[in-house]
Structure 1
Amino acid sequence: MTILSNPAPTRIRVIDLETAGSACHNVCEIGWQDVVREINGRWEVNEERGARFVNPGGPISTQTMAIHHIVDADVAGAPFWKDVAPQVLRPTGDVVALAAHRATFEQRFCSPRLSGGARWICTWKCALRTWPALPSFSNQGLRYERMPSGLDRATGLPAHRAMPDAYVTAHHLRDMLNASSPEQLLTWSEQPGLLPRVPSGPDRKRPWAELGDDALAGYARDRDVDIRFSAETEQRRRGNYNAIPVKAEVQSLLL
């Protein structure tokens, strides 16, 4: 009998960044946690995680210190972002994508040049699609609303530090990957966020399906891209394509 060697598991690397705040809005810490596809096809959070301080090139604001508790002395001797980022964002092996919660923030710093042009999964956008009935879609809100299995409370603390936050995000990503394909998550991530409810104003918390056509048309002209996209999606569902602005998103929707 021929024994086949186990192929290397597919990895997605979750990234979280802490920054120096208004005084010097550069990265001061990067954390990561890998999610791997095992031989049985299931995705799991593995032991590959870590964090590194980054010299932001300027002082950390006191308001930001009060959030993540990283002080200037912690990062004084750390390497600069251009030296740290490629080592974390482009590890050797089979990392097929990067991921983050509200990934547009991380992507501001993790440029294609530093990341090797990797595609990104936004776990916030995917949470809107995967668990639309939940009341909150923040990273920590999902943590306590969902209580993901296997999430070690101590490893996920303190909040607002790069490695613990990446660790928590990875558990949301694992469950998303076990419900939908990576390509589906990537597609959702490359579209605006599909909000399940109106986020603010007189219709706050109302599902889009409850709104009249006139109210929906107003939201389809909103300045916020996620609100516009969500209203236009409901217009499409109703077959009201003529009401959708000419510059609307033209990507196919996976509903």
Structure 2
Amino acid sequence: MKAIILDTETNKLQGLPIEVAYVPCEVKDGSTSVFADQAFDEYYSVGEPISYGSMAVHHILESDIADKPAHTTFKLPESAQYIIGHNIDYDIEAIKRCGVDTSNLKAICTLALARKVWPEAEAHNISALTYMIFEGIPSVRDQLRSAHNAKQDVLLTGKILKSIVNKLQATDLEHLYQLSEDARIPSIITFGKYRGTAIKDVPSDYKAWLLKQNELDPYLRKALTA
């Protein structure tokens, strides 16, 4: 498969992956297929403690990973060209810490796409979007009770992806990737003294200062130079 939906759970914020899950998917002729029967899900040991804050989110305990393989053994499928996920940059950084080369992957962010498709939504996290898309039916609640399990999150992201593809009329993976790239370019400043200001209205001297910052988000850089 050329594309996978990926999610990680880490031992702390910006930490090492203690669970990695992915599921192959395809977008072809405007239709999305998620191959749940081919899902991968594995726990990993990382040689560092799990923070209690992270434990409270994903409920993975030290005993769950004690005898698991080292995180450095994780490998992506060789056929993967597109990597899809909700706030996918976080997961890409996590698997980089496994030693995975992600330089040739095309990242598709369902969080950015969801914000574009449903700008009026109260929240854009996986659980809120799933409830919204399926209008709060009881079976969704049963699925969401295991949210923040990486495998469950990739399957739920697959449901969100299907709705996004339909709403945006994405024809294939490359079209979806280009839509994601566009959606990730911000229209307002989200920090500092001009927070909430449309980028087109930010003073030119402040734009120039931002562009000199080495750690500037690449998508914000695109917006400032557009």
- Same-fold status (TM-score > 0.5): yes
**Counterpart residue number, 1:7:** none
Q: State the Cα distance separating 1:185 from its structure 2 match.
A: 3.7
Quickly say closer, same or farther: Cα 1:221–1:21, change in 2 above 3 A: closer
Q: State the Cα distance separating 1:120 from its structure 2 match.
A: 0.6
Matched, 1:71 2:56: no
- Runs of at least 5 residues in structure 1 that lack an aligned partner in the other structure: 1-9, 197-218
Say whether the 8 Å CA contact 1:26–1:57 is kept in structure 2: no
The 2-side partners of 1:57 and 1:26 are apart by 9
Matched, 1:18 2:30: no
**Counterpart residue number, 2:101:** 114
Matched, 1:231 2:198: yes
Q: Which one scores higher on RCO, CA 8 angstroms, separation ≥ 6?
A: 2
What amino acid is the match of 1:245? K
TM-score (norm 2): 0.73
* Higher Rg of the two aligned structures: 1
The 2-side partners of 1:101 and 1:71 are apart by 24
The 2-side partners of 1:79 and 1:145 are apart by 38
Candidates 14, 31, 34, aligned match of 1:42: 31
Q: How does 1:136-147 map to 2 (within 5 A)?
A: 136-147=123-134
The 2-side partners of 1:96 and 1:67 are apart by 30
Matched, 1:104 2:89: yes
Q: How much is the aligned-residue C-alpha RMSD, in angstroms?
A: 3.7
**Counterpart residue number, 1:170:** 158
**Counterpart residue number, 2:216:** none
Quickly say closer, same or farther: Cα 1:250–1:155, change in 2 above 3 A: closer
More displaced stretch, 131-140 vs 109-118? 109-118
- Runs of at least 5 residues in structure 2 that lack an aligned partner in the other structure: 212-219
**Counterpart residue number, 1:186:** 177
The 2-side partners of 1:71 and 1:115 are apart by 28
Secondary structure of 2:101's counterpart equals: helix
Can you list the C-alpha shifts for 1:74-125, whole angstroms capped at 9, x where unaligned?
A: 11111112211x1xx2x144x3300111112112123384346211111111
Candidates 63, 78, 83, aligned match of 2:73: 83
Matched, 1:245 2:212: no
Can you list the C-alpha shifts for 1:167-201, whole angstroms capped at 9, x where unaligned?
A: 111111222234225334423544674678xxxxx
Say whether the 8 Å CA contact 1:60–1:71 is kept in structure 2: yes
Quickly say closer, same or farther: Cα 1:115–1:81, change in 2 above 3 A: farther
Count residues with an aligned counterpart. 206
**Counterpart residue number, 1:210:** none
User: Going by fraction, where is helix more abundant, 1 or 2?
Assistant: 2
Structure 1 stretches of 4+ with a deviation exceeding 6 A read 240-244
The 2-side partners of 1:133 and 1:194 are apart by 18
